[in-house]
């Protein structure tokens, strides 16, 4: 039930200010997702979608920091 | 796919599990709250990679599993009304009520429709103005905002034939119920990352402090789970009973303020009966007075009753981590996903369904007298 899937925003329809909708690509599939609760999103951003709504923007910087920390841990133990 | 594949990297998984094994000094009972995380553990056989000292207890974070029998019965009663279209998520279709389930009701002629999103149910109401459309709303704080948004949208668009049977539940009161039980042996929690995308970190801090347990907000891919476990083991070994976030790409400390605001506007807190567990104070959501016109209980004058769990299902012991699915006499024989005796075998997040789907590959091969280590 709490399954949420990351997808990439293709475009955002701002015509209804009460219900901003984005076209979002999930792998090969596309779907309309409400981005009503996210103010700082634009085409190209990744969001986490759940039952037709975007819960959050996926923070690219944080994702990179996490993966880099893991890789550095790996390299410190094994050499680059 | 980006933001998924990187977190399924086998080498990173192995590296993290080795590191956990090096750093652990004693046994710890760790509960992953969310059924989605239970499925990741089983699907990727992660328990087999972890040191023996980690005893993972599968938690009650499966909203379909904890939806009480009487709610299923009410949904079926509504669905059997010829003027009603009953819409819900696909997971709800096979959950047994007292006597039957929604799929059987559909086979008998009830108009039951699966929807992907609550807004799709509202669209059904607009497409069928001559019928009453009831959305059967289950889910944790992850799902409740989307339902709140739909109810508000129904009011804005003045859709008179739309209502909601609300059975939403909240995670923190369930954690407190588990921690307050005299049977409790939980040393630390992996908290449900997607719930926290909405709710943030704040409501977990008093729990960590009051009960002296560390809580790590954790994602759902294999690397995420091991990262959460690595963080938690560090806190347990160091005696730090705090809240940490191991899912920073998706969870902000404050959560999603707008989603929280709309939940607060549309819903009030209420006591809620959890299937197999019992009533937990303030653990449920109901429509607030402002939105009570959209309450299906009110619109159809449904009785508020409680029903006992039918048959052999030991959902309560499974959902509180006191038993593992294979310890149930019906598991895999009388109870299968095709013929479920209880909700944990139905839901895509149910622990029984996870053990059934991934079988011996995912199962912890270690002997389990009790699922909880005593120490």
**Same-domain pairing of B211 and B337:** no
Provide the number of structural domains found in chain B: 2
Give chain A positions within 8 Å (CB) of B19. 73
**Same-domain pairing of B306 and B346:** no
Going by their DSSP bridges, the two strands B28-34 and B54-61 should be labelled as: parallel
For the entire predicted model, the pTM comes to 0.93
User: Residue A2 is nearest to which of B149, B195, B248, comparing CB atoms?
Assistant: B195
B52 inside domain: yes
Straight-line distance from the first to the last Cα atom of chain B, in angstroms, rounded to the nearest whole number: 43
pLDDT of A1 over the 90 cut: no
**Same-domain pairing of B354 and B291:** no
Q: Residue B225's closest CA among B44, B22, B3, B28?
A: B44
User: Which DSSP helix (H) or strand (E) runs through B162?
Assistant: strand B162-168
Domain boundaries defined on chain A: 5-78
- Tell me the per-residue pLDDT of A20-74, one tens digit each, with 9 for 90 and over: 999 999 999 999 999 999 989 999 999 999 999 999 999 999 999 999 999 888 7
**Same-domain pairing of B246 and B162:** yes
B367 inside domain: no
d(CA B101, CA B112): 11
Q: Give every CB contact of residue B56 below 8 A, 6+ residues apart in sequence.
A: B30, B31, B32, B41, B47, B50, B364
Q: How far is CA B146 from CA A37, B116, B139, B166, B293, in A?
A: 10, 11, 10, 12, 18
Q: Is B231 on the interface with A (CB under 8 A)?
A: no
**Same-domain pairing of B261 and B346:** no
**Same-domain pairing of B166 and B179:** yes
Q: Give every CB contact of residue B347 below 8 A, 6+ residues apart in sequence.
A: A1, B35, B62, B64, B65, B91, B95, B353
Q: 3-class SS at B257?
A: helix
The answer to whether A32 and A22 have CB atoms below 8 angstroms apart is: yes
User: Residue A55 is nearest to which of B197, B249, B348, comparing CB atoms?
Assistant: B197
Q: Residue B344's closest CA among B319, B369, B312?
A: B319
**Same-domain pairing of B258 and B355:** no
Mark yes or no for CB contact A58/B249 under 8 Å: yes
Min Cα distance A54 → chain B (Å) is 9
Residue B373 has what pLDDT? 47
Residues in chain A: 80
B82 inside domain: yes
- Tell me the per-residue pLDDT of B211-246, one tens digit each, with 9 for 90 and over: 999 999 999 999 999 999 999 999 999 999 999 999
What's chain A's Rg over C-alpha atoms? 16
**Same-domain pairing of B348 and B227:** no
B244 inside domain: yes
CATH number for the segment(s) A5-78: 2.30.30.140
Q: Residue ranges of chain B with pLDDT lower than 50? A: 361, 365-375
Residue of B nearest to A25 (CA): B1
**Same-domain pairing of B213 and B322:** no
Tokens standing for A10? 């293709």
Residue B73 has φ and ψ, to the nearest 5°, of -60, -45
**Same-domain pairing of B287 and B327:** no
CB within 8 Å of chain A, chain B residues 132-171:
138-140, 142-143, 145-146, 149, 153, 156
**Same-domain pairing of B333 and B184:** no
- Residue B365: CB atoms within 10 Å: 9
Give chain B positions within 8 Å (CB) of A67. 6
Q: Which residue has the higher pLDDT, A80 or B17?
A: B17
Mark yes or no for CB contact B3/A6 under 8 Å: yes
Residue B308 has what pLDDT? 75
Q: Is B244 on the interface with A (CB under 8 A)?
A: no
User: Residue A2 is nearest to which of B1, B19, B140, comparing CB atoms?
Assistant: B140
Q: How does the average pLDDT of chain A come out, rounded?
A: 92
The DSSP symbol for B282 reads E
**Same-domain pairing of B112 and B220:** yes
d(CA B270, CA A1): 21
- Tell me the per-residue pLDDT of B110-123, one tens digit each, with 9 for 90 and over: 999 999 999 999 99
Residue of A nearest to B2 (CA): A6
Mark yes or no for CB contact A3/B36 under 8 Å: yes
Q: Give every CB contact of residue B251 below 8 A, 6+ residues apart in sequence.
A: A56, B193, B196, B197, B200, B201, B217, B245
Q: 3-class SS at B158?
A: coil
Range of B321's domain?
315-361
Residue of B nearest to A37 (CA): B258
**How is B89-116 classified by DSSP, letter by letter?**
-GGGTT---SS--HHHHHHTT-EEEE-S
């Amino acid at each position: 039930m709490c399954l949420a899937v990351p997808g990439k925003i293709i475009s955002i329809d701002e015509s209804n200010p009460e219900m901003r909708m984005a076209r979002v690509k999930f792998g090969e599939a596309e779907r309309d997702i409400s981005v009503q609760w996210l103010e700082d999103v634009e085409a190209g951003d990744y969001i986490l979608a759940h039952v037709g709504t975007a819960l959050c923007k996926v923070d690219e910087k944080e994702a990179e920091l996490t993966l880099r920390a893991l890789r550095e841990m790996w390299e410190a133990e094994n050499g680059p | 796919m980006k933001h998924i594949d990187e977190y399924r990297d086998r080498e990173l998984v192995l590296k993290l599990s080795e590191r956990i094994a090096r750093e652990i000094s004693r046994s710890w009972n760790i509960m992953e709250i969310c059924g989605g995380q239970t499925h990741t553990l089983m699907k990727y056989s992660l328990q087999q990679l972890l040191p023996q000292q980690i005893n993972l207890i599968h938690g009650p974070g499966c909203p379909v599993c904890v939806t009480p029998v009487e709610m299923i019965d009410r949904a079926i009663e509504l669905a059997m009304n010829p003027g009603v279209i009953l819409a819900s998520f696909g997971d709800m279709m096979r959950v047994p009520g007292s006597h039957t389930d929604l799929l059987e009701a559909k086979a008998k002629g009830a108009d039951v429709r699966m929807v992907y999103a609550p807004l799709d149910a509202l669209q059904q109401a607009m497409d069928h103005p001559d019928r009453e459309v009831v959305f059967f709303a289950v889910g944790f704080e992850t799902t409740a905002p989307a339902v709140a948004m739909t109810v508000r949208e129904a009011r804005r668009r003045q859709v008179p034939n739309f209502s909601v049977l609300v059975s939403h539940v909240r995670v923190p009161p369930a954690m407190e119920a588990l921690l307050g039980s005299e049977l409790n042996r939980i040393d630390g929690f992996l908290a449900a990352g997607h719930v926290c995308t909405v709710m943030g970190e704040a409501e977990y801090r008093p729990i960590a402090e009051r009960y002296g347990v560390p809580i790590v907000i954790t994602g759902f891919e294999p690397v995420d789970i091991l990262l959460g476990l690595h963080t938690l083991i560090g806190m347990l070994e160091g005696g730090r009973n705090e809240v940490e976030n191991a899912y920073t790409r998706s969870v902000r400390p404050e959560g999603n303020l707008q989603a929280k605001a709309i939940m607060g506007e549309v819903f009030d807190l209420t006591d809620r009966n959890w299937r197999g567990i019992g009533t937990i104070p303030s653990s449920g959501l109901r429509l607030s007075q402002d939105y009570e016109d959209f309450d299906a209980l009110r619109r159809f004058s449904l009785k508020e009753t409680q029903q006992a769990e039918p048959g052999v299902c030991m959902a309560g012991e499974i959902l509180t981590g006191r038993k593992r699915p294979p310890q149930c006499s019906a598991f895999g024989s009388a109870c299968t996903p095709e013929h479920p005796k209880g909700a944990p075998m139905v839901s895509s997040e149910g622990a029984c369904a996870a053990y059934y789907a991934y079988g011996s590959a995912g199962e912890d091969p270690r002997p389990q007298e009790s699922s909880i280590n005593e120490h």
